[in-house]
Structure 1
Amino acid sequence: MATPGNEGTGAAQYPASGLRTFGIEEELLLVDPATGEAVPKAGELLAFYVRPMDSGAGPVLTAEFQQEMIEVVTPPHSTMDGLEADIIAGRAIADRAARDVGVRVAALGTSPLPTRPHPVQLRRFVAMREEYGLTAREQLTCGCHIHVSVESPEEAVAVLDRIRIWLPVLVALSANSPFWHGEDTGYASYRSQVWNRWPSAGPLEILGSPDAYHQLVHDMVSTGVALDEGMIYFDARLSRHYPTVEFRVADVCLRPENTVLLVGIARGLVETAAREWREGIEPVAVPSALLRLAAWKAGRWGLRGELLDPVTSRPAPALAVVNALINHLREVLEDIGDLQRVEELVDDLLRVGTGAVRQLEVLHRTGDMEEMVADAVNCTVWVP
């Protein structure tokens, strides 16, 4: 579902009120275990992979835009523990399949070593390479897309209107891509820079209604710049096939527990926004131009510097902004039963550092980028 323009199929039926479910799509890099280089083995891997007959039985593997990556898709869950088990299982399934064709999987937002991506040879992807040139040819990035269930189209757009100011914080929390073509970019999340080359990517303005959302999508496709609705790459969007809001800003996280943190926060954001909407609380009207600056700053520094305060758009220490996010979600997280777990995972992330920090520390210690990729492989499939 996270492939540019590629979502799974299924009827969109909005669920009855209850505990919101969530699921993820993690994009993983296929790497040579000897050299650390990204290698185009997805087609060969999927030719041997046997997909479970029951799509709800556990994680499944799917193709992505480039042959150097694979996607792991989980079924929906209602608990953080349940989803964590499938994240770990899905990475293990992907790594076993990768080993069968002589490679490994690494949860890295970009390839640290230079590479020339090879697209999956589908007509649509060929058309994208022709239309978007270098933007498409270089688009080898791995993200984490989070789906959270919503109860109606009206609630879904109300959620989009209210979560938009917090999305840059997710970029900072997930930052895991400091390298590009063998070079230290100076960014904690360079994936976010590469992804935003797509002309349809970025933050939404406040829309107010499903009609306004769908009219905007229609108008964007009508320009011909976006080839179809699948290429509407908003930071968060309505799923075309599922009754969910889809968060699209995060890097794939190096460690599974960091992904668990993201999904806990994402569900908290959706439920908090839905409650505000029902209570008649208007969304905070931050212009999308300022949200772009907030996202840039989050991608540049991750948690090692200042971010922009989501409400005031003024610089603030990253710790203060993360604390503001948790305080914003506190009531909902406590009601759901996720507060203690989220706080523990936040504390752990702040103590250990993001994937970007880990990559840079390993490279500094070893001086060897191949060793750094090997460490990333170990982190990807390590079971806590």
Structure 2
Amino acid sequence: MSARTVGVEEEFLLLDPGSGRPRAVGGAVLAAWDSAEPDADGAGLTGELHREQLETGTRPCRTLDELGAQLRNTRAEAAAAAARLGAAVAPLGTSPLPVEPTVSPVERYARMVQRFGITVDDQLTCGCHVHVAIDSAEEGVAALDRIRPWLAPLLAVSANSPFWQGADSGHDSFRSQVWSRWPSAGAYAPFGSAQGYREFVDGVLATDTVLDEGMVYLDARLSRDHPTLEVRVADVCRDPDDAVLVAALVRGLVETAVRGWRAGDGVPPVRTEVLRLAAWRAGRSGVTGDLLHPATWRPAPAADVLGALVAHVADALDEAGDRTAVDALLAGVLARGTGAQRQRAVRERTGSLAAVAQDAALPAP
């Protein structure tokens, strides 16, 4: 049986190359780029909530080599598009420098501003969303219910947002703290079935709190537009290899969960409140401190928890041909550090947050 397809969406900051400050040129970048319109698979360049952002998407991929190549290509395409306007693209979860973001001129976003106020202003954050193919909504929900304990480690390994409005936040992923301000964001309880998931979504919409189904901002959900399960917990990764690692682990988690469901295995009995604690710890220290271990829900070194995650999905990784690559990619990020560690190292070396932003800017082809 061939491996499930996997695709990745990445959000980026648009920066002034000279100052490192975000630039509100998202709409102009898209207008000037001939291939900006995404295709049916979601690949291409799109705008985002704020004009200081740009989003890319890969096509569904079977192999990690294919995914890595597409991630590098889409990053290069975004950098080239921004360069036409004299801007740079940077994979940063938050802006290191102070910024007053501007909302993109889209009617839906205007409604969000009216309803959520300053929460919208604060959402100049960039994440990484992984889509894994599923055969049905029932299969997807079975996977959603079973991957819950392992989502926080994915945030830890992707952490790339330590600075907020010109200061060190004390978190490796402050983006996750900002994102949690949405009323529909974060960890979730098991749904039990596709019908249970649909009833949950319909119930959320019936409260008239969020605008639409697109604002059901759970850490993982069923995609509205594609036959995929979408994991949304990660920061945009500083290094494309880290995005490949996150995607491989997500695919392994989905496949392992579906196999467990088919074998009659139950849903792991962990409270949603504990998952919130696990996510907070992951965002606080990334891979440099302790995470909550899903086997005990007690603190353990991040490397041990990530190793346990790989062991949990080992059979799926082996059958997809991903195990060797995942072992190497995980060893790489643990050795060199996450994007958050890179940002702090640049700040320590230069004393400049502008240098932090400039260091992350992707070279224009």
Q: If the length of structure 2 is used for normalisation, what is the TM-score?
A: 0.97
Letter in 1 for 2:55: E
The equivalent residue for 2:236 is 252
Q: 1:94 aligns with which of 73, 78, 87?
A: 78
The equivalent residue for 2:304 is 320
Q: What's the secondary structure of 2:105's corresponding residue?
A: coil
Matches of 1:281 and 1:382 in 2, distance apart? Answer: 49
Q: Equivalent residues in 2 for 1:299-310 (5 A)?
A: 299-310=283-294
Q: 1:374 aligns with which of 355, 358, 364?
A: 358
Q: Does structure 2 retain, via aligned residues, the 8 Å contact 1:165–1:286?
A: yes
The equivalent residue for 1:220 is 204
Report deviation, 1:283.
1.5
Matched, 1:261 2:252: no
Letter in 1 for 2:203: D
Q: 2:7 aligns with which of 19, 23, 27?
A: 23
Q: 1:69 aligns with which of 44, 49, 53?
A: 53
Matches of 1:281 and 1:258 in 2, distance apart? Answer: 30
Matches of 1:132 and 1:273 in 2, distance apart? Answer: 35
The equivalent residue for 1:363 is 347
The equivalent residue for 1:128 is 112
Matched, 1:155 2:145: no
Q: What's the secondary structure of 1:208's corresponding residue?
A: coil
Q: 1:42 aligns with which of 26, 31, 35?
A: 26
Count matched residues. Answer: 365
Letter in 2 for 1:280: G
Q: What's the secondary structure of 1:111's corresponding residue?
A: coil
Q: Does structure 2 retain, via aligned residues, the 8 Å contact 1:178–1:190?
A: yes
Matches of 1:260 and 1:206 in 2, distance apart? Answer: 27
Matches of 1:93 and 1:301 in 2, distance apart? Answer: 32
Report deviation, 1:59.
4.2
Q: 1:204 aligns with which of 188, 206, 212?
A: 188
Greater displacement, 190-199 / 44-53: 44-53
Report deviation, 1:203.
1.1
Report deviation, 1:52.
7.0
Letter in 2 for 1:131: R
Report deviation, 1:124.
0.8
- For the structure 1 residues 350 and 287, does the alpha-carbon distance in structure 2 shift closer, same or farther, using more than 3 Å as the test? same
CA RMSD of aligned residues (A): 1.6
Matches of 2:352 and 2:184 in 1, distance apart? Answer: 37
Q: Does structure 1 retain, via aligned residues, the 8 Å contact 2:83–2:364?
A: no
Matched, 1:178 2:162: yes
Matches of 1:239 and 1:58 in 2, distance apart? Answer: 12
- For the structure 1 residues 283 and 250, does the alpha-carbon distance in structure 2 shift closer, same or farther, using more than 3 Å as the test? same
Q: What's the secondary structure of 2:17's corresponding residue?
A: coil
- For the structure 1 residues 248 and 294, does the alpha-carbon distance in structure 2 shift closer, same or farther, using more than 3 Å as the test? same
- Alpha-carbon displacement from aligned partner over 1:203-252 (angstroms, at most 9, x marks no partner): 11011100000101101111011111111001000001111000000000
- Alpha-carbon displacement from aligned partner over 1:60-87 (angstroms, at most 9, x marks no partner): 1001000000000111111111111110
Greater displacement, 291-300 / 42-51: 42-51
Letter in 2 for 1:301: S
Q: 2:321 aligns with which of 313, 337, 351?
A: 337
Gaps of 5+ in 2: none
Q: Does structure 2 retain, via aligned residues, the 8 Å contact 1:59–1:89?
A: no
Matches of 2:133 and 2:152 in 1, distance apart? Answer: 21
The equivalent residue for 1:239 is 223
Q: 1:83 aligns with which of 54, 58, 67?
A: 67
Q: If the length of structure 1 is used for normalisation, what is the TM-score?
A: 0.93
- Alpha-carbon displacement from aligned partner over 1:314-346 (angstroms, at most 9, x marks no partner): 111111101100110111111111000000000
| Divergent runs of 4+, >3 A | 56-59, 380-383
Letter in 2 for 1:117: P
Matches of 1:261 and 1:213 in 2, distance apart? Answer: 28
